[in-house]
Amino acid sequence: MAIELSPPPEVHELAERTRTFIRDRVLPLEDAHDGDITAAGGDTFRVDLQQAAREAGVFAPHAPVEYGGHGLGMSDRAPVFEEAGYSLFGPTALNIAAPDEGNVHMLAHIANPEQKQQYLAPLARGEVRSAFAMTEPAPGAGSDPSALATRAVRADGGWRINGRKWFITGADGAGFFIIMARTSGEPGQRGGATMFLAPADSAGIRVGRHLDTLDRSMVGGHCEVFFEDLLVSDAAVLGEVDRGFEYAQVRLGPARMTHVMRWLGAARRGHDVAVAHVARREGFGSRLGDLGMVQKMIADNEIDIAATRALLTRACWELDRGEPAADATSIAKTFAAEAIFRIIDRSMQMCGGLGVSGDLPLARLSREVRPFRIYDGPSEVHRWAIAKRAVGAAKRALRDAE
Ligand SMILES: Cc1cc2nc3c(=O)[nH]c(=O)nc-3n(C[C@H](O)[C@H](O)[C@H](O)COP(=O)(O)OP(=O)(O)OC[C@H]3O[C@@H](n4cnc5c(N)ncnc54)[C@H](O)[C@@H]3O)c2cc1C
């Protein structure tokens, strides 16, 4: 069977244009603001950056063509998103940052025509931002989504939602929320979740404090959000009642892979910075890059980059074929989240004191990539799921053989 690894010419060209745009327009801004998007101006900054991306013809590579995007599938997104991720501000510039990118993907697949008009169209065009509200403080939903405690109960012509969420990326300043709430069953039971769409200025939605996480590159922070007698109509249900967990999978598999694409770009930047440094810096009668233990770090980075890309390619191929790709996305996400952190960590080590200083971007890259081992499924949860499927298949094989 033939294996085609080269992207189509138009995708290659878009990736090259993205690379130039990021290098010339975005990286200098990231460096000037130490990767802190709030310090750079938050939403005002985002709007200007996105206008520059439109003018450069690189805006919204993922969005459907009818909503002004380039309509790329998962495999074609990979090289473009990786180039965008080379700068911490790149994904925001192209409108492919989390959670908006994943929300565009999910709305394109699940929303009805009216919902697409009201929510997807302005989101794809960068006119508004969005938030995806799933995680709750203990004892609510976290790694275990079945603990979902936010409730939606029947009210006149619609639903009344009550609950508390946290770590909701982009909540401060979002135009609308996608809310995961329990419509049947009890916390701890599988199923019974529904997704609701609600404008952020609805009475009954209150954005609370920002959780002071390590990272600084996502507009709108990671916030607590309170739903207090939020009334929504039946038209606010995304898809069908009680199918929320199913729809979450439509979003999560691809969203995990687009995180990998973007953070792989960041890891590549860290590696490039370190290799350039050790090729120049002299010590012990040679360049640092000629010393064996430094070369080991360089080679290990190259191996981690190549392996991440290979696992990503496989997972995207399965997703583009319409497969659930549960194993492939779990494997790629787990490996990538850990490999990307290792790459940045080795890059800091190679640069000595400079590596942990503000003179190079490595320290800020390190703080940005660390949370990726936790969100979109902690590494332990993915390993547990991969192993459970493997053991389950082995048990079925044993039963069949009896
Ligand atoms: C920067 C950031 C952005 C986020 N953005 C969003 C967002 O936009 N929307 C949203 O809804 N949520 C968001 N989250 C929340 C994120 O999805 C959760 O943090 C994640 O699902 C883990 O849940 P938890 O924090 O409750 O950890 P817990 O569920 O309490 O787990 C804690 C730890 O226990 C271990 N563990 C858990 N289960 C298992 C298992 N089965 N086997 C072995 N070990 C296990 C893991 O080491 C895990 O890290 C974000 C989080 C961060 C850090």
CA of 27 to the centre of ligand 1 (A): 30
Nearest residue CA, atom 26 of ligand 1? 142
pLDDT, position 3: 73
Distance (angstroms) between ligand 1 centre and the Cα of 117 equals 32
Out of 88, 135, 165, 169, give the residue to mutate to test ligand 1, the one with the largest number of ligand atoms within 8 Å of its CB: 135
Query: Which residues in the chain come in under a pLDDT of 70?
Result: 1-2
Taking residue 210's Cβ as centre, other Cβ atoms within 10 Å add up to 14
| Residue 25 DSSP class | I
| Cβ of residue 371 lying under 6 Å from some atom of ligand 1 | yes
User: Distance between CA atoms of 386 and 379, rounded to whole angstroms?
Assistant: 11
- Domain with residues 245-400, CATH architecture: Up-down Bundle (1.20)
Ligand 1 atom nearest to CA at 137: 26
Residue 213 Cβ inside 6 Å of ligand 1? The answer reads: yes
Please name the helix (run of DSSP H) or strand (run of DSSP E) that holds residue 251, with its range, or none.
Answer: helix 244-280
pLDDT of residue 157: 86
Q: From the CB of 217, is ligand 1 less than 6 Å away?
A: no
pTM for this entry: 0.97
Of 214, 237, 258, nearest in space to 369 by CA: 214
The finding on whether 194 has its CB within 6 A of some atom of ligand 1 is no
Query: Under 8 Å CB-to-CB from 187, ≥6 apart: which residues?
Result: 139, 140, 146, 147, 148, 149
In a 10 Å sphere around its CB, with 0-12 CB exposed, 13-18 middle and 19+ buried, how is residue 9 labelled? Answer: exposed
pLDDT in tens, 164-189: 999 999 999 999 999 999 999 999 99
CA distance 254 to 319: 7
pLDDT at 250: 85
Q: Cα–Cα distance between 365 and 274 in angstroms, integer?
A: 12
Give the Å distance between the CA of 142 and the centre of ligand 1: 5
- CATH fold label, 9-97: Butyryl-Coa Dehydrogenase, subunit A; domain 1 (1.10.540)
> Would you list the domain boundaries of the chain?
9-97, 130-242, 245-400
Q: Write down the pLDDT at residue 229.
A: 98
Whole-angstrom distance, CA of residue 277 vs CA of residue 304: 19
Return the exposure string of 126-160: e unless at least 16 CB atoms fall within 10 Å of the residue's CB, then b: bebbbbbbbbbeeebbbeebbbbbbbbeeeeebbb
pLDDT for the residue 1:
59
Give CA separation, 273 vs 118, 250, 393, in Å. 43, 36, 44
Q: What is the 3-state secondary structure (H, E, C) of 42-107?
A: HHHHHHHHHHHHHHCCCCCCCCCHHHCCCCCCHHHHHHHHHHHHCCCCHHHHHCCCCCHHHHHHHH
Residue type for position 222: H
d(CA 374, CA 360): 25
Which residues are CB-neighbours of 396 under 8 A, at least 6 positions away? none
Res 5: pLDDT = 86
Q: Which CATH superfamily is domain 130-242 in?
A: Butyryl-CoA Dehydrogenase, subunit A, domain 2 (2.40.110.10)
Residue type, 137: P
